[in-house]
Chain A
Amino acid sequence: VPGEYIANFEKLVAPLELPGELRRLWERLNPATLAVAPRPDSAEAMSVTEFADPAFSWWAYRRQVDHPGLVPEILLCVSAGVGRFRFVELAGPHGEGGMVYEWHYGGSAFRPCFGSIAAWLGALADGLREDPQTVGERGAAMAWVDPATYAERARLPDVPPIGPEPEAWPDSWKAAARMFDGRRRPKPADRSISELLSESAERRVTATIEGVVERRLWGDRGTRMLVCDGTGLLDAWCAATVGAEWLLRSQRTFEVDVVAGPGLEPPQLESSRWIDRAMNAAPPQAHVTGLRPLLFG
């Protein structure tokens, strides 16, 4: 991970700090490139590696700060499975941090699972050593560890879980949360898609919407996507210059800044498939100007 990225992270989480082991891990490699994971139990999980890209951690942390109360700011997300996340405790006035917690969508507690990043890596290495047959290939080769043994290793039975509600958080977590009170920049959706389509029928409108996003066509120049928020469907073009390709590949729910209205240029994505070219001849209803994943609820 480039040093400047790590420096930006340090600004993002300050006055909290990256734990030493995580910092060292990122200095040596992008952990998302470690093609290892517990053997998946669903097709969706097939390509999910155990560690998240630091870019994901960035967006996740931005979301935590801007929408507080669900995931405490003292935790940094470093692993995202299907509905399951792992966080490392940041360092700060309370101590050196480093404990790894697991949390699920649906109001689970924060359950301690590894005492440190090093212990986590050790458990993965043990799993690979003990069961070398669990190496599968699907797209890029992935090494899988036995999920049952691994789950057993990811247990710290003597450390109690921490409840999901902020009232149940330890004082150090509550104190860390207060450190960010002056730095929150929430930018909630200001319109429904139905309202946006109505307003933009005759004129250009700049707006922020949110909803489920599905990629339809994509190429080097960007992505043609659909957004749905239960009131309408928006067909939008997200140019590569927006810099959201990797987010669109890994996430499905977003806040989306758009310019909508008549006369927007069709993307004319280059494709050898006539069907793609035909679809892309239609002007999109909106151009995307910004995209933020709606992580953690």
Chain B
Amino acid sequence: MTPDERIDRLVEALEAAGAPAPEAPSDHAGLVALQGEIAPLRLPDTLRRLWERVSIGSFALVTYPFLSTPEVALGGWRLNRDTDLLVPAGMLPFCYESHNHLLVELEGAGVPGGAVFEWRFTDTSLRLRCAHVDDWLDSLVTLLEDRLFERREGTAGDRLVVDVERHRALLAERLDARGPHPLYGALRVLATERDSWPDHWARATAPLLAAREARGASATVRELLAAARAAEARATLSGVRSNLSIGADRSWRVLLADSTGVLDVHCPVDTPGFHSLGDSPLVELDVRAPKLPPPRARVDWRALVVAPEDEAAAEPRLHQLVPAVTPQAVAEAIRPVRPPAGP
């Protein structure tokens, strides 16, 4: 059965259960960004087509954990990539709810991909739930056909909330029926300790681990700023970070200090290593400094302050004014640096 045939069956089952057919996404920007960032790893076809055809907000079936949007899935993947890599980089959290994930194994690095694991943030092991994400999708059709759900009113229309225990049992039956897994054999629980990872997990993760290693500064803050007076400049800087503000898009503005000066750096959310920013005050940043613009004359800075209503009458704070300032540089990669040992 092709991925589209599987999704067609799911849509038919939803409609037969009295739920509306899901709508198509208004755009694929989130999916495109996800695919770009996980490359050279790839989404299993069924999941890719599901996200291409179904807007998650219009999907009336409520699973546990929730089926994520591509944006949320990418956010979870980045968080894992940038922090402790608690699970292999070849795993994408395509379902998430309250600290529990379903991870789908991505294709590439010599593996066919598709296996689905359950993992909570506090778990020290991954539990194999489906031999392939196709089974997970097919199980939803069975749940609908067997009416193993509860209909609940929601703000966006009726939702069909699946019977979680029956769903788990159904997945377990399908997994047993599949026999030994081509990669994991009879194993159903795999430890998350990196030393015990199968080789293909380590292979998929190795490039990301290498990308997190500090490389050493190529320039100082002072040298970068001097270069940017003539033309756009790029450099790797190493120093101490302190935070200036967090934008509405959750990007960070940070001040990087090295032994020659300080630099105001914008760190967009999609910067590789973004989620490691909070880990260590010592960082290494690959930055791009645009050619220094002509100086700006004085402005009515009080009028620039964006403050919540309850703060409007009080004195403004620095973080409210920082967004009005053009940053001196934009981060292109962020790598944490281990703090010095000892007191």
Provide the bound-state CA to CA distance between A142 and B216, in Å.
51
Residues of A within 8 A of B259 (CB): 281-282
Provide the bound-state CA to CA distance between A109 and B166, in Å.
67
Q: B75 at the A/B interface (Cβ < 8 Å)? A: no
Q: A104 at the A/B interface (Cβ < 8 Å)? A: yes
Q: Which of B1-9, B35-43, B311-319 contacts A (4 or more CB under 8 A)?
A: B311-319
Nearest Cβ on chain A to B316's Cβ, whole angstroms: 5
Q: B211 at the A/B interface (Cβ < 8 Å)? A: no
Who on chain A is nearest to B322 by CB? A228
B301-A278 in contact (CB<8A): no
Who on chain B is nearest to A192 by CB? B298
Q: Which of B45-94 contact A (CB under 8 A)?
A: none
Contact string against B for A residues 192-209, beta-carbon threshold 8 Å, 1 for contact and 0 otherwise: 101101110100000000
B240-A278 in contact (CB<8A): yes
Given A198-B295, A201-B225, A283 and B261 contact (CB-CB distance below 8 Å): yes
A216-B242 in contact (CB<8A): yes
Nearest Cβ on chain A to B319's Cβ, whole angstroms: 8
Could you say which of A42, A210, A230 contacts B304, with CB atoms under 8 Å apart?
A230
Nearest Cβ on chain B to A46's Cβ, whole angstroms: 14
Q: B324 at the A/B interface (Cβ < 8 Å)? A: yes
Residues of A within 8 A of B262 (CB): 235, 282, 285
Q: Which of A120-167 contact B (CB under 8 A)?
A: none
Count of A residues near B, CB < 8 Å? 42
Q: A213 at the A/B interface (Cβ < 8 Å)? A: yes
A228-B318 in contact (CB<8A): yes
Count of B residues near A, CB < 8 Å? 45
Residues of B within 8 A of A66 (CB): none
Contact string against A for B residues 131-142, beta-carbon threshold 8 Å, 1 for contact and 0 otherwise: 000000000000
Residues of B within 8 A of A245 (CB): none
B313-A83 in contact (CB<8A): yes
A232-B242 in contact (CB<8A): no
B296-A192 in contact (CB<8A): yes
Q: B244 at the A/B interface (Cβ < 8 Å)? A: yes
Of A82, A231, A272, A282, most B-chain CB atoms within 10 Å: A282
B298-A213 in contact (CB<8A): no
Nearest Cβ on chain A to B129's Cβ, whole angstroms: 43
Residues of B within 8 A of A230 (CB): 299-301, 304, 321, 324-325
Residues of A within 8 A of B257 (CB): 235, 278-279, 281-282
Q: Which of A213-255 contact B (CB under 8 A)?
A: 213-214, 216, 226, 228-233, 235, 251-253
Who on chain B is nearest to A191 by CB? B298
Q: B338 at the A/B interface (Cβ < 8 Å)? A: no
Residues of B within 8 A of A42 (CB): 310
B317-A212 in contact (CB<8A): yes
Residues of B within 8 A of A272 (CB): 343
Residues of A within 8 A of B244 (CB): 226, 233
Given A252-B316, A278-B257, A231 and B240 contact (CB-CB distance below 8 Å): no
Provide the bound-state CA to CA distance between A251 and B314, in Å.
11
Residues of A within 8 A of B339 (CB): 274-275
B314-A105 in contact (CB<8A): yes
Q: B264 at the A/B interface (Cβ < 8 Å)? A: yes
Q: B22 at the A/B interface (Cβ < 8 Å)? A: no
Provide the bound-state CA to CA distance between A213 and B316, in Å.
9
Provide the bound-state CA to CA distance between A232 and B294, in Å.
12
Residues of B within 8 A of A4 (CB): none
Q: B281 at the A/B interface (Cβ < 8 Å)? A: yes
Q: A177 at the A/B interface (Cβ < 8 Å)? A: no
Who on chain B is nearest to A106 by CB? B313
Provide the bound-state CA to CA distance between A211 and B302, in Å.
9
Q: A35 at the A/B interface (Cβ < 8 Å)? A: no
Contact string against A for B residues 325-337, beta-carbon threshold 8 Å, 1 for contact and 0 otherwise: 1000000000000
Could you say which of B258, B310, B320 contacts A282, with CB atoms under 8 Å apart?
B258
Task: Please provide the 8 A-B residue pairs with the shortest distance between their CB atoms, ordered closest to farther.
Answer: A83-B313, A230-B301, A282-B257, A198-B295, A214-B318, A231-B296, A194-B296, A230-B324
Pairs across A and B, CB under 8 Å, 9 listed: A82-B314, A106-B312, A194-B297, A212-B301, A230-B301, A233-B322, A233-B325, A235-B262, A285-B262
Interface residues of A (CB under 8 A from B): 42, 44, 82-83, 104-106, 189, 191-192, 194-195, 197-199, 201, 210-214, 216, 226, 228-233, 235, 251-253, 272, 274-275, 278-279, 281-283, 285
A228-B325, A229-B299 are known; give 9 further A-B pairs, CB within 8 A.
Answer: A194-B295, A212-B315, A226-B318, A229-B298, A230-B324, A231-B301, A231-B324, A252-B316, A278-B239
